[in-house]
Structure 1
Protein backbone atom coordinates (compact mmCIF):
# COMPACT_ATOMS: atom_id res chain seq x y z
CA UNK A 1 0.00 0.00 0.00
CA UNK A 2 1.10 3.52 -0.70
CA UNK A 3 1.80 5.64 2.33
CA UNK A 4 2.27 9.35 2.64
CA UNK A 5 5.01 11.01 4.63
CA UNK A 6 8.36 10.09 6.06
CA UNK A 7 7.37 6.52 6.93
CA UNK A 8 7.33 5.63 3.23
CA UNK A 9 10.25 3.62 1.89
CA UNK A 10 13.22 5.36 0.36
CA UNK A 11 13.45 4.17 -3.23
CA UNK A 12 16.43 4.68 -5.50
CA UNK A 13 19.31 3.23 -7.48
CA UNK A 14 22.88 2.69 -6.38
CA UNK A 15 25.73 1.69 -8.69
CA UNK A 16 23.19 0.73 -11.37
CA UNK A 17 21.45 -1.84 -9.11
CA UNK A 18 17.84 -1.32 -8.06
CA UNK A 19 17.53 -0.97 -4.32
CA UNK A 20 14.86 -0.23 -1.79
CA UNK A 21 15.63 0.61 1.82
CA UNK A 22 13.32 0.09 4.77
CA UNK A 23 13.85 2.36 7.73
CA UNK A 24 12.24 0.00 10.20
CA UNK A 25 14.09 -3.16 9.18
CA UNK A 26 17.28 -1.29 8.25
CA UNK A 27 17.91 -3.55 5.32
CA UNK A 28 18.42 -3.05 1.62
CA UNK A 29 16.81 -5.19 -1.06
CA UNK A 30 18.62 -5.38 -4.39
CA UNK A 31 16.67 -6.67 -7.39
CA UNK A 32 17.93 -10.06 -8.57
CA UNK A 33 16.05 -10.04 -11.87
CA UNK A 34 14.55 -13.44 -10.95
CA UNK A 35 10.77 -13.69 -11.08
CA UNK A 36 8.84 -15.87 -8.65
CA UNK A 37 5.46 -17.45 -9.30
CA UNK A 38 2.65 -18.85 -7.19
CA UNK A 39 -0.14 -21.21 -8.19
CA UNK A 40 -3.18 -19.79 -9.97
CA UNK A 41 -5.40 -21.40 -7.31
CA UNK A 42 -3.60 -19.63 -4.47
CA UNK A 43 -4.47 -16.25 -2.98
CA UNK A 44 -2.03 -13.98 -1.16
CA UNK A 45 -3.86 -12.29 1.72
CA UNK A 46 -2.80 -9.44 3.95
CA UNK A 47 -4.45 -6.95 6.27
CA UNK A 48 -3.14 -3.60 7.46
CA UNK A 49 -4.06 -0.89 9.89
CA UNK A 50 -4.98 2.61 8.72
CA UNK A 51 -1.31 3.55 8.38
CA UNK A 52 -0.60 0.61 6.08
CA UNK A 53 1.27 -1.45 8.69
CA UNK A 54 0.74 -5.19 8.33
CA UNK A 55 -1.53 -6.82 10.91
CA UNK A 56 -2.09 -10.17 9.14
CA UNK A 57 -0.36 -12.19 6.41
CA UNK A 58 -1.30 -15.66 5.20
CA UNK A 59 1.03 -18.58 4.50
CA UNK A 60 1.08 -17.95 0.74
CA UNK A 61 2.34 -14.41 1.42
CA UNK A 62 5.04 -15.77 3.73
CA UNK A 63 6.14 -18.43 1.24
CA UNK A 64 6.34 -16.18 -1.84
CA UNK A 65 8.00 -13.29 0.00
CA UNK A 66 10.39 -15.42 2.10
CA UNK A 67 9.66 -13.32 5.17
CA UNK A 68 8.54 -14.72 8.51
CA UNK A 69 5.37 -13.53 10.14
CA UNK A 70 7.43 -11.93 12.92
CA UNK A 71 9.45 -9.97 10.34
CA UNK A 72 6.34 -8.64 8.60
CA UNK A 73 3.78 -7.83 11.28
CA UNK A 74 3.94 -4.17 12.23
CA UNK A 75 5.97 -3.30 9.13
CA UNK A 76 4.63 -1.05 6.35
CA UNK A 77 3.11 -3.00 3.45
CA UNK A 78 5.35 -0.90 1.21
CA UNK A 79 8.26 -3.02 2.49
CA UNK A 80 7.66 -5.34 -0.47
CA UNK A 81 7.13 -2.59 -3.08
CA UNK A 82 9.31 -3.13 -6.14
CA UNK A 83 11.41 -0.17 -7.22
CA UNK A 84 10.00 -0.34 -10.77
CA UNK A 85 6.43 0.31 -9.59
CA UNK A 86 5.19 3.79 -10.56
CA UNK A 87 4.22 5.92 -7.59
CA UNK A 88 1.14 7.09 -9.51
CA UNK A 89 -0.41 3.63 -9.16
CA UNK A 90 0.03 3.69 -5.38
CA UNK A 91 -1.27 7.26 -5.22
CA UNK A 92 -4.40 6.13 -7.07
CA UNK A 93 -4.73 3.13 -4.77
CA UNK A 94 -4.43 5.34 -1.70
CA UNK A 95 -6.98 7.83 -3.08
CA UNK A 96 -9.51 5.06 -3.70
CA UNK A 97 -9.07 3.61 -0.22
CA UNK A 98 -9.31 7.01 1.45
CA UNK A 99 -12.65 7.45 -0.34
CA UNK A 100 -13.82 4.10 1.08
CA UNK A 101 -13.70 2.40 -2.32
CA UNK A 102 -12.19 -0.89 -3.43
CA UNK A 103 -9.54 -1.02 -6.15
CA UNK A 104 -7.94 -3.56 -8.46
CA UNK A 105 -4.33 -3.01 -9.47
CA UNK A 106 -1.45 -4.93 -10.98
CA UNK A 107 1.49 -4.77 -8.58
CA UNK A 108 5.11 -5.91 -8.80
CA UNK A 109 6.50 -6.90 -5.40
CA UNK A 110 9.89 -7.71 -3.92
CA UNK A 111 10.63 -10.94 -2.07
CA UNK A 112 13.08 -10.67 0.82
CA UNK A 113 16.06 -11.69 -1.36
CA UNK A 114 15.26 -9.27 -4.21
CA UNK A 115 13.33 -11.65 -6.47
CA UNK A 116 10.08 -10.19 -7.78
CA UNK A 117 6.55 -11.47 -8.16
CA UNK A 118 3.57 -9.92 -9.94
CA UNK A 119 0.04 -9.93 -8.54
CA UNK A 120 -3.41 -8.70 -9.44
CA UNK A 121 -4.42 -7.07 -6.17
CA UNK A 122 -7.94 -6.42 -4.95
CA UNK A 123 -7.70 -4.00 -2.03
CA UNK A 124 -10.67 -2.99 0.07
CA UNK A 125 -11.23 -0.90 3.18
CA UNK A 126 -12.17 -2.87 6.32
CA UNK A 127 -15.03 -1.40 8.33
CA UNK A 128 -16.07 -1.71 11.97
CA UNK A 129 -19.70 -2.18 13.07
CA UNK A 130 -20.24 1.58 13.01
CA UNK A 131 -19.09 1.84 9.38
CA UNK A 132 -15.72 3.40 10.15
CA UNK A 133 -12.69 2.35 8.13
CA UNK A 134 -10.34 0.52 10.51
CA UNK A 135 -7.80 -0.87 8.04
CA UNK A 136 -7.35 -2.47 4.64
CA UNK A 137 -7.64 -5.99 3.27
CA UNK A 138 -5.84 -7.20 0.15
CA UNK A 139 -6.38 -10.41 -1.84
CA UNK A 140 -3.83 -11.00 -4.58
CA UNK A 141 -4.09 -13.49 -7.42
CA UNK A 142 -1.84 -14.64 -10.23
CA UNK A 143 -2.10 -12.15 -13.11
CA UNK A 144 -2.39 -13.15 -16.76
CA UNK A 145 1.18 -13.08 -18.15
CA UNK A 146 -0.04 -11.78 -21.53
CA UNK A 147 -1.69 -8.79 -19.88
CA UNK A 148 1.51 -8.07 -17.98
CA UNK A 149 3.72 -8.33 -21.06
CA UNK A 150 1.46 -6.54 -23.53
CA UNK A 151 -0.11 -3.84 -21.37
CA UNK A 152 0.94 -3.44 -17.75
CA UNK A 153 4.74 -3.63 -17.95
CA UNK A 154 4.97 -1.14 -20.87
CA UNK A 155 2.43 1.16 -19.18
CA UNK A 156 4.25 1.07 -15.85
CA UNK A 157 7.60 1.69 -17.54
CA UNK A 158 6.13 4.74 -19.28
CA UNK A 159 4.73 6.07 -15.99
CA UNK A 160 7.96 5.36 -14.10
CA UNK A 161 10.02 7.10 -16.80
CA UNK A 162 7.78 10.16 -16.46
CA UNK A 163 8.23 10.14 -12.68
CA UNK A 164 12.00 9.80 -12.96
CA UNK A 165 12.21 12.39 -15.76
CA UNK A 166 11.47 15.37 -13.58
CA UNK A 167 13.85 16.88 -11.02
CA UNK A 168 10.94 17.32 -8.63
CA UNK A 169 9.47 14.08 -7.23
CA UNK A 170 6.18 15.90 -6.68
CA UNK A 171 5.98 17.21 -10.25
CA UNK A 172 7.07 13.83 -11.64
CA UNK A 173 4.27 12.15 -9.72
CA UNK A 174 1.72 14.71 -10.92
CA UNK A 175 2.79 14.23 -14.55
CA UNK A 176 2.62 10.45 -14.18
CA UNK A 177 -0.86 10.66 -12.62
CA UNK A 178 -2.01 12.88 -15.48
CA UNK A 179 -0.63 10.47 -18.09
CA UNK A 180 -2.43 7.54 -16.47
CA UNK A 181 -5.70 9.53 -16.49
CA UNK A 182 -5.17 10.39 -20.18
CA UNK A 183 -4.49 6.77 -21.14
CA UNK A 184 -7.62 5.58 -19.35
CA UNK A 185 -9.72 8.46 -20.77
CA UNK A 186 -8.53 7.62 -24.29
CA UNK A 187 -10.12 4.19 -23.81
CA UNK A 188 -13.42 5.88 -22.95
CA UNK A 189 -13.67 4.07 -19.61
CA UNK A 190 -12.97 4.55 -15.92
CA UNK A 191 -9.79 3.19 -14.31
CA UNK A 192 -11.81 0.30 -12.85
CA UNK A 193 -13.30 -0.58 -16.23
CA UNK A 194 -9.88 -0.33 -17.85
CA UNK A 195 -8.26 -2.76 -15.40
CA UNK A 196 -11.16 -5.21 -15.42
CA UNK A 197 -11.32 -5.17 -19.24
CA UNK A 198 -7.76 -6.42 -19.61
Structure 2
Protein backbone atom coordinates (compact mmCIF):
# COMPACT_ATOMS: atom_id res chain seq x y z
CA UNK A 1 0.00 0.00 0.00
CA UNK A 2 1.40 3.45 0.93
CA UNK A 3 4.84 2.14 1.88
CA UNK A 4 5.43 1.17 -1.77
CA UNK A 5 4.02 4.41 -3.13
CA UNK A 6 6.32 6.99 -4.67
CA UNK A 7 5.97 10.43 -3.11
CA UNK A 8 4.27 12.96 -5.36
CA UNK A 9 5.29 16.13 -3.50
CA UNK A 10 1.66 17.24 -3.73
CA UNK A 11 -0.01 18.38 -0.53
CA UNK A 12 -3.64 17.68 0.25
CA UNK A 13 -5.75 19.94 2.42
CA UNK A 14 -8.94 19.64 4.41
CA UNK A 15 -11.31 22.23 5.84
CA UNK A 16 -10.76 23.83 9.23
CA UNK A 17 -14.19 22.58 10.29
CA UNK A 18 -13.25 18.96 9.50
CA UNK A 19 -11.71 16.57 11.99
CA UNK A 20 -9.79 13.47 10.98
CA UNK A 21 -10.48 10.71 13.52
CA UNK A 22 -9.00 7.29 14.02
CA UNK A 23 -8.79 4.73 16.78
CA UNK A 24 -6.26 1.96 17.22
CA UNK A 25 -5.71 -1.03 19.43
CA UNK A 26 -2.73 -1.20 21.76
CA UNK A 27 -0.49 -2.38 18.91
CA UNK A 28 -1.41 0.60 16.73
CA UNK A 29 -3.71 -1.29 14.36
CA UNK A 30 -6.61 0.79 13.06
CA UNK A 31 -9.97 -0.14 14.59
CA UNK A 32 -11.88 2.94 13.38
CA UNK A 33 -11.35 5.67 10.78
CA UNK A 34 -13.91 8.33 9.97
CA UNK A 35 -14.91 9.37 6.47
CA UNK A 36 -12.72 12.47 6.57
CA UNK A 37 -9.68 10.30 7.33
CA UNK A 38 -10.59 8.04 4.41
CA UNK A 39 -11.15 10.99 2.07
CA UNK A 40 -7.90 12.78 2.88
CA UNK A 41 -5.66 9.70 3.11
CA UNK A 42 -7.26 8.06 0.08
CA UNK A 43 -7.97 4.71 1.72
CA UNK A 44 -11.27 2.96 2.11
CA UNK A 45 -12.40 1.82 5.53
CA UNK A 46 -11.86 -1.78 4.44
CA UNK A 47 -8.25 -1.00 3.44
CA UNK A 48 -7.54 0.68 6.79
CA UNK A 49 -9.19 -1.54 9.37
CA UNK A 50 -6.69 -3.90 10.94
CA UNK A 51 -3.72 -2.19 9.31
CA UNK A 52 -0.95 -0.60 11.35
CA UNK A 53 -1.60 3.14 11.65
CA UNK A 54 1.90 3.75 10.34
CA UNK A 55 0.61 2.77 6.90
CA UNK A 56 0.29 6.55 6.48
CA UNK A 57 3.74 7.34 7.88
CA UNK A 58 5.54 9.86 5.71
CA UNK A 59 9.33 9.46 5.43
CA UNK A 60 9.78 13.18 6.27
CA UNK A 61 8.33 12.56 9.73
CA UNK A 62 11.13 12.09 12.29
CA UNK A 63 11.02 8.70 13.97
CA UNK A 64 12.00 10.27 17.31
CA UNK A 65 8.74 12.27 17.36
CA UNK A 66 6.76 9.05 16.92
CA UNK A 67 8.80 7.46 19.68
CA UNK A 68 7.95 10.39 21.96
CA UNK A 69 4.27 10.17 21.04
CA UNK A 70 4.14 6.41 21.77
CA UNK A 71 5.92 6.80 25.10
CA UNK A 72 3.53 9.56 26.12
CA UNK A 73 0.30 7.75 25.32
CA UNK A 74 1.54 4.42 26.67
CA UNK A 75 2.21 6.24 29.95
CA UNK A 76 -1.46 7.26 30.01
CA UNK A 77 -0.97 10.88 28.95
CA UNK A 78 -2.30 12.81 25.98
CA UNK A 79 -0.08 14.54 23.45
CA UNK A 80 -0.45 17.20 20.79
CA UNK A 81 1.91 16.98 17.81
CA UNK A 82 2.35 18.26 14.30
CA UNK A 83 2.49 15.33 11.89
CA UNK A 84 2.95 14.94 8.15
CA UNK A 85 1.18 11.88 6.77
CA UNK A 86 1.38 10.10 3.44
CA UNK A 87 -1.71 9.40 1.35
CA UNK A 88 -2.28 6.16 -0.50
CA UNK A 89 -1.28 7.76 -3.81
CA UNK A 90 1.90 9.39 -2.43
CA UNK A 91 0.47 12.84 -1.71
CA UNK A 92 0.91 14.18 1.82
CA UNK A 93 -1.04 16.21 4.36
CA UNK A 94 -0.17 18.00 7.60
CA UNK A 95 -2.20 17.72 10.78
CA UNK A 96 -2.18 19.01 14.32
CA UNK A 97 -2.85 15.74 16.12
CA UNK A 98 -4.32 15.24 19.59
CA UNK A 99 -3.71 11.65 20.65
CA UNK A 100 -5.14 10.16 23.82
CA UNK A 101 -5.26 6.77 25.47
CA UNK A 102 -8.69 5.29 26.17
CA UNK A 103 -9.20 3.55 29.50
CA UNK A 104 -11.50 0.83 30.78
CA UNK A 105 -13.37 1.07 34.11
CA UNK A 106 -10.31 -0.10 36.03
CA UNK A 107 -8.04 2.56 34.54
CA UNK A 108 -6.25 0.19 32.17
CA UNK A 109 -5.37 1.54 28.72
CA UNK A 110 -7.41 -0.38 26.14
CA UNK A 111 -6.92 1.66 22.95
CA UNK A 112 -5.83 4.99 21.50
CA UNK A 113 -7.84 7.78 19.93
CA UNK A 114 -6.59 10.53 17.65
CA UNK A 115 -8.30 13.70 16.45
CA UNK A 116 -6.47 15.67 13.79
CA UNK A 117 -7.22 19.22 12.80
CA UNK A 118 -5.89 21.62 10.20
CA UNK A 119 -2.56 22.98 11.43
CA UNK A 120 -1.51 26.61 11.27
CA UNK A 121 0.37 26.82 7.94
CA UNK A 122 2.83 29.45 9.20
CA UNK A 123 3.76 27.30 12.20
CA UNK A 124 4.28 24.26 9.96
CA UNK A 125 6.39 26.21 7.47
CA UNK A 126 8.38 28.41 9.86
CA UNK A 127 8.76 26.22 12.95
CA UNK A 128 7.95 22.55 12.43
CA UNK A 129 9.49 21.80 9.05
CA UNK A 130 12.90 23.30 9.98
CA UNK A 131 13.00 21.34 13.24
CA UNK A 132 11.88 18.10 11.57
CA UNK A 133 14.48 18.55 8.79
CA UNK A 134 17.24 18.84 11.41
CA UNK A 135 15.96 15.76 13.25
CA UNK A 136 15.76 13.76 10.01
CA UNK A 137 19.23 14.85 9.01
CA UNK A 138 20.53 13.57 12.33
CA UNK A 139 18.68 10.27 11.95
CA UNK A 140 20.17 9.74 8.48
CA UNK A 141 23.74 10.12 9.73
CA UNK A 142 23.52 6.63 11.20
CA UNK A 143 23.37 3.36 9.30
CA UNK A 144 21.70 1.83 12.37
CA UNK A 145 18.13 3.19 12.47
CA UNK A 146 17.85 2.79 16.24
CA UNK A 147 21.05 4.73 16.83
CA UNK A 148 19.81 7.42 14.45
CA UNK A 149 16.53 7.69 16.30
CA UNK A 150 18.33 7.90 19.64
CA UNK A 151 20.60 10.67 18.32
CA UNK A 152 17.70 12.67 16.94
CA UNK A 153 15.75 12.14 20.16
CA UNK A 154 18.69 13.58 22.11
CA UNK A 155 18.76 16.51 19.69
CA UNK A 156 15.03 17.08 20.27
CA UNK A 157 15.43 16.82 24.04
CA UNK A 158 18.38 19.25 23.99
CA UNK A 159 16.32 21.70 21.92
CA UNK A 160 13.37 21.48 24.31
CA UNK A 161 15.69 21.90 27.29
CA UNK A 162 17.13 25.04 25.68
CA UNK A 163 13.56 26.33 25.38
CA UNK A 164 12.89 25.44 29.01
CA UNK A 165 9.86 23.31 28.26
CA UNK A 166 8.54 19.84 27.54
CA UNK A 167 7.33 18.85 24.07
CA UNK A 168 3.65 19.41 24.83
CA UNK A 169 4.40 22.87 26.21
CA UNK A 170 6.46 23.68 23.12
CA UNK A 171 3.65 22.66 20.76
CA UNK A 172 1.12 24.63 22.83
CA UNK A 173 3.22 27.80 22.57
CA UNK A 174 3.50 27.72 18.78
Instruction: State the TM-score bracket (shorter-chain normalisation).
Output: over 0.9
CA contact (8 A) 1:20 1:83 kept: no
- The structure with the greater share of residues assigned to helix is 2
Number of aligned residues: 174
Contact 2:84-2:92 within 8 A present in 1 as well: yes
Where does residue 51 of structure 1 map in the other structure? Answer: 27
- Structure with larger RCO (C-alpha < 8 A, sep 6+): 2
Instruction: Report whether the alignment pairs 1:121 with 2:97.
Output: yes
Instruction: Choose the corresponding residue for 1:178, options 121, 129, 154.
Output: 154
The TM-score, its normalising length taken from structure 2, stands at 0.98
Partner of 2:141: 165
Cα deviation for residue 20 of structure 1 reads 5.9
1:42 aligns with 2:18: yes
Over aligned residue pairs, what C-alpha RMSD do you find? 1.1
**Unmatched segments (≥5 aa) in structure 2:** none
After superposition, the Cα gap between the structure-2 partners of 1:164 and 1:20, relative to the gap in structure 1 and judged at 3 Å, is farther
Match of 1:30, SS? Answer: coil
In the alignment, what sits opposite 1:12?
Answer: none
Q: Tell me what 2:67 maps to.
A: 91
Provide the C-alpha distance between the structure 1 equivalents of 2:54 and 2:145, rounded to a whole number of angstroms. Answer: 18
TM-score under structure 1 normalisation?
Answer: 0.86
Runs of 4+ aligned residues of structure 1 deviating over 2 Å after TM superposition are none
Which has the higher mean CA deviation after the structures are superposed, 51-60 or 161-170?
161-170
Whose strand fraction is larger, Structure 1's or Structure 2's?
1
Unaligned 5+ segments in structure 1 are 1-18, 22-27
